[in-house]
Amino acid sequence: MSYIQGILAAVPVQNKADYVALAKESWELFRDYGALSMLEAWEDNVPDGTLTSFPMAVKREPGEAVVFSQIRWRDKAAADACFAAMESDPRWQALGEMPFDGKRMIWGFFEPIFEGRA
């Protein structure tokens, strides 16, 4: 069964093109390690909350957009191998700096429990 990684980040609006370029370059590496698909979605209708919200989760600042990302892995072992290699595979370092504050990025891994498709 596949394994899902979810990511939220706050990206400066002026860095959108740089973010998209980084996502495309990163996809090549994720795919090499067994990712089946990758989705990057730019904020469109992401309201502030009073108790919790996407913007609050990443401490979005003025001039930033929330980005929601999902990577579908073939299995947990592939995801684990990819993240273990981030320290040793020089291709990751060659990507350079992230065009956003990585300290406010949140991410986690999930086991699918249901998927509907049309």
pLDDT in tens, 4-44: 999 999 999 999 999 999 999 999 999 999 999 999 999 99
pLDDT of residue 87 exceeding 90 = no
pLDDT of residue 91 exceeding 90 = yes
- State pLDDT tens for residues 94-104: 999 999 999 99
Domains and CATH numbers, the chain: 3-110 (3.30.70.100)
Question: Where do we find the tokens 């002026």?
Answer: 14
Q: What is the pTM of this model?
A: 0.93
Residues 6+ away with beta carbon under 8 Å from 6: 68, 69, 70, 107, 108, 109, 110
